[in-house]
A = this chain, B = another copy of it.
Amino acid sequence: MLIVQKYGGTSVANVERIQNVARRAVETKRQGNDVVVVVSAMSGETDKLIGLAKTISEMPDERELDMIMSSGERVSSALTALAVKELGEKSISFTGRQIGLITDAAHTSARIERITAERLKKAIAEGFIPIVAGFQGISPGEDVTTLGRGGSDTSAVAIAAAIGADRCEIYTDVDGVYTTDPNIVPEARKLDKISYDEMLEMASLGAKVLQTRSVEFAKNYNVPVLVLSSFNYNPGTLVTKEDAEMEKVVVAGIAYDKNQSRITVVNLPDKPGIAAEIFKGLADANINVDMIVQNVSSDGSTADISFTVPKTDVLKALKNTEDTAGKLGAMRIDRRDDIAKVSIIGVGMRSHSGVASKMFTTLASHGINIMMISTSEIKVSCVVDAKYTELAVRVLHEAFELDKPYAGATAGFEATD
């Protein structure tokens, strides 16, 4: 088999762990497989580097930030190659550029356009265990780009797709994907299997196991992804195509996200094009708006628009919204940071009704007020006061019987970025 193994920051946090990664890669190779390893930066490195940049500049130029951040993976990949060589296998490190990982020019959150993988394929054919620096690519203008937080997952899955790997293994510091965060709900269960779509919702809703885009890639190119721990040999969770069994489960997992802020524009004149103006401004500034709710006043003359943005973007978003809202004649802008989004996810929702109302009833019966609601085919999200996050996750986990085997089949973790 041709296997891509991706090891996250905690798995390469120090020399001993890098040696452990090398051992696992070599074991896999000696079991008769071809192996490509993708590594993140040693944990803490990227944050340290961003910290330096932010000491110099409150809003660092993103091209320069990419140059700075991408250095962490260069170091960890070369160190891992050294460790593999010490174990007697041929190894060579590659940067994003060296494997031809071409992205667009959207620094700090670039999208992969294609991977030529010439040197990579050649190295595999020659029996090397190539070690690729994750998280990074190169723009058409020959500048270094990075793929956003957790981008090494995306690198790994995209590389797996580009070289036609049989499987992409994502090694992390947890055993796999759980029905929800075991730190909040001790009864949370590890799932054997989860569909791409469920994982996609979990990832985008705040589960930190896999980056959203990596799951999109896996889905589009049908790459089986195995999430497992680099610290033990437990079986992990397979992220794969949906099957009939998955459909039977109404709610597979519960995710939560404390990293958003809510902005409310109060008393906008209610006329066509108002929302468009506001969100065009935000889109132009590359701010990722998540939930949007609009209320019209009883006389229909004014409207309030609320939306959520990542906490990291809230200052930029406020500034941007103030400009637009001022022109449009809004009364004021409110900002609220102490909110959390709690979501239930499951492909079974498509074929089961009453799921959302059960969620609302459960929250209400525990005195948890819902501020915003958003739904999709396979998830329901509610924004609540941040102080109720853990309570909400716990009561929903119980209400949907996720602690019972086969009752649920997914998992959630707190978003960290």
Instruction: Return 17 A-B CB contacts under 8 Å, by A number.
Output: A15-B55, A18-B56, A52-B75, A53-B78, A60-B82, A61-B85, A64-B82, A64-B93, A67-B74, A67-B78, A67-B93, A68-B79, A70-B74, A71-B71, A71-B75, A74-B74, A98-B142
User: Are the CB atoms of B85 and A75 closer together than 8 Å?
Assistant: no
Cross-interface CB contact of A75 among B68, B93, B143, cutoff 8 Å = B68
In the assembled complex, the Cα of A67 lies from the Cα of B131 at a distance in Å of 12
A232 at the interface (CB under 8 A from B): no
Cα–Cα, bound, A316→B52 (Å): 39
A64/B81 in contact, CB under 8 A: yes
Instruction: Compute how far the CA of A60 lies from the CA of B82 in the bound complex, rounded to whole angstroms.
Output: 6
Residues of A in contact with B (beta carbons under 8 Å apart): 15, 18-19, 49, 52-53, 55-57, 60-61, 63-65, 67-68, 70-72, 74-75, 77-79, 81-83, 85-86, 92-93, 95, 97-98, 142-144
* B79:A63 contact, CB within 8 angstroms: no
Query: Does A79 lie within 8 Å of B52, measured CB to CB?
Result: yes
Minimum distance in angstroms from A245 CB to a CB of chain B: 44
A63 adjacent to B92 (CB under 8 Å): yes
**CB-CB under 8 A for A52 and B15, given A68-B74, A78-B64, A81-B61:** yes
A82 proximity list for chain B (CB < 8 A):
53, 56-57, 60-61, 64
- Closest Cβ of chain B to A53, distance in Å, is 6
**Whole-angstrom distance from the CB of A5 to the nearest CB of chain B?**
18
- Cα A56 to Cα B78 in complex, Å, equals 11
CA distance A77 to B95 in the complex (A): 19
A75 and B60 within 8 A (CB): no
- Report chain B residues within 8 Å CB of A92: 63-64
Q: In the bound complex, what is the Cα–Cα distance between A354 and B407 (angstroms)?
A: 98
With A57-B83, A57-B85 as known contacts, state yes or no: A78 contacts B74, CB within 8 Å.
Answer: no
- Report the minimal beta-carbon distance from A344 to chain B, rounded to whole angstroms: 43
A93 → B minimal CB distance (Å): 6
A85 to B49, CA, bound (A): 18
Report how far A98 CA is from B70 CA in the complex, Å.
15
Q: Which residue of B lies closest to A58 (CB)?
A: B86
Extra inter-chain contacts (9) besides given A53-B79, A64-B78, CB under 8 Å: A49-B75, A53-B82, A57-B86, A60-B82, A64-B79, A64-B85, A67-B77, A68-B78, A70-B74
Most buried by B among A15, A67, A83, A98: A67
CB of A163 to closest CB in B, whole Å: 19
Please name the residue on chain B nearest to A98 by beta carbon.
Answer: B142
Contacts of A19 in B (CB 8 A): 56
